[in-house]
Amino acid sequence: MWKLLLTFSLLCWTSEGSVTCRNENNGEVDWYILYKMPKTNTLQGLENLYIDPDEMKTAMKTINDPQGVLANTLKPLFKPVDTMPPNFGFISYSDQPPSGTASQNFGHSKGVLLVDKSGTGIWLLHSTPKFPCAKDENSFWPSTGVKNAQTFICVTFRYEQFDKIGKHLQYIRAFPFDHRIPGDFHTELLDVVNKVHVPPDDHFQELNSNKRVNFYSIAKKIQGPDYGGDLYVTISQRVSSDLLVQTWGCQAGRDKSFCRKNKFKVENIKMIETSLSQWKNTQDHSKWCVAKDPQNNWVCVADVNRAQSQYTRHGGALCINDKRIKDIFKNLAKESEDCQNRSLLDILDVLNLRNFLNILNPDCDP
């Protein structure tokens, strides 16, 4: 009788479809990007821009909807652990987990892996603290995730790609706050949950999605005379282009744009604009960058900020070289701190007033 029940259980798992990224209709997609809006006078802080291989639109369902994009994608995670099939594993990692704390020795990184050893899995890289806050589709979204804008990128990969993804998580010293990885899975995934660290290699690692789209992971080094632990300076040199970069505008010790002579520039974005609204970087906790060069189509969704305190911490990004996605993100950048108009900021730095003014910014938490 128990064999019949086990067979039925596995058939029910299969009937729900593969472990893949899913849209708001629960359809399988190769990849998607979500840009959650901040809470403003006109936005409730749960609206989101949805991008996948076929479309870009304002999602019909909110980010916390139990039948929305994230809930549909993470559904295998919401099952009780003892009912999960033997070929399924997961890792939830975050430097700001739902409960407890992670040592500063771990990377400033957040994400979820769901893996079916017999088929496919997903890597969901995001910027939201305390997410997901429970293995429950009705309560997975933290209340603290409403205020600021956030980004998510989900990619469906075949199982054989997860040894590389596991290696990346070791490079960035991801902190696994919840996990279930069977003993016969990739050694690299087992090493992640056992907190094994591997020194990072700051070169692109190619990853092929389930539909053979090329993505590239990169992990920064935290020392070096050229890059100084700045992920985005590292990326700019690797892609041979100036970058526009969005990171948390209220970060203590936030760095000014990188404008060193004979180096590719990294310019901080000051204002974001979508069809729904516009907002300042002080309302945006997302981390991403896009190439400025018209002939260069790199876009990266990342996990660290441009701040001195984070240059000594591990972190990385997932990137794609795609003109359509590049144009979308470049058009989101309404205003930037360009290198030609930085004199006032330089004066504030000399007077040691810039961080003081950031603290007084009414958009930032005290």
Residues of the chain with pLDDT under 70: 1-17, 224-226, 341-362, 365-366
Query: What is the Cα–Cα distance from 63 to 36, expressed in whole angstroms?
Result: 7
* pLDDT score at 225: 60
CA 177, 183, 184, 190 torsion-angle sign:
positive
* pLDDT score at 135: 83
* pLDDT score at 13: 41
* pLDDT score at 7: 36
Query: What is the Cα–Cα distance from 231 to 118, expressed in whole angstroms?
Result: 35
250 sits in which H/E element? none
**Nearest to residue 128, comparing CAs of 286, 271, 251, 288?**
286
Q: Which amino acid is at 316?
A: G
Query: What is the Cα–Cα distance from 45 to 68, expressed in whole angstroms?
Result: 15
* pLDDT score at 235: 97
Tokens of residue 69, six digits: 């994009």
Asked whether the beta carbons of 289 and 275 are under 8 A apart, the reply is no
- Count of beta carbons in the 10 Å neighbourhood of residue 67: 12
* pLDDT score at 5: 35
